[in-house]
Amino acid sequence: MKKILIDFSSSFLTLFVVFGLVFVGSAASSQEVIVNDNDVDYITEIRSIDEDTFPEVYCMALNVYYEARGSNLADQYAVADVVLNRADDVRYPNTICEVVKDGYVKGKRNCQFSWYCDGKPDNPKDEEAWSRAQSVAWGIVMLDKYRGISEGSTHYHAHYVNPHWNRSTKHFKITRMGRIGDHIFYRWN
């Protein structure tokens, strides 16, 4: 198996590589890509992410997997960015896991992220998508990769749904920030 090392020290190179990976898609799946951020060893950590060792990264990886596994890399980072934006916002819990699990009440479906209270086991089955979700989670949580890609968004939804909260009201002001991949992103003002 051929390993490719990429140094993301240049913003232009980062942008070029990200878009290249998005467009190459399945062709890249036959090779292992190691992203080098002056610490090649972190690829080992990505493969060993579990709930006990890195609980916050694990929660983020689960959310990326279940919310955006079929979407492009930019969308996956944007979904992860929303979780971090919520953790930084006083209106939400202040840890990644608390944000991901926010709203859970046994037997009810009022979670912030629908996959968390859908009653199904939360065990990723698609190994390639799970590996990618872990890499995204590690990158944004541990390395601040693409932090801010959602431009401060606190909400998102799939492009094919129209939830009641995506419009401002007298007591709830929300601004549409744009679409990335399969999701439309909003910032709660």
Q: Which residue has the tokens 């990723």?
A: 124
What pLDDT does 173 receive?
A: 92
Whole-prediction pTM value? 0.73
Which has the higher per-residue pLDDT, 74 or 118?
A: 74
pLDDT band at 106 (very low <50, low <70, confident <90, very high): low
Average pLDDT over residues 75-103: 94
**Considering only CA atoms, which of 91, 50, 64 is closest in space to residue 149?**
64
Of residues 122 and 144, more confidence is placed in: 144
CA gap 49, 51 in Å, rounded? 7
Q: What is the 3-state secondary structure (H, E, C) of the chain?
A: CCEEEEECCCHHHHHHHHHHHHHHHHHHHHCEEEEECCCCCHHHHHHCCCCCCCHHHHHHHHHHHHHHCCCCHHHHHHHHHHHHHHHHCCCCCCCHHHHHCCCCCCCCCCCCCHHHHCCCCCCCCCHHHHHHHHHHHHHHHHHCCCCCCCCCCCEEEECCCCCHHHCCCCCCCEEEEEEECCEEEEEEC
pLDDT digits (tens, 9 = 90+) for 8-41: 444 444 444 444 444 333 333 323 344 444 444 4
Q: What percent of the chain has pLDDT over 70?
A: 70
Q: What percent of the chain has pLDDT over 90?
A: 54
Q: Where are the domains of the chain?
A: 1-40, 50-188
Determine the pLDDT at residue 112.
Answer: 77
Mean pLDDT over 133-139 rounds to 97
The pLDDT assigned to 120 comes to: 75
Residue that wins the pLDDT comparison between 47 and 18: 47
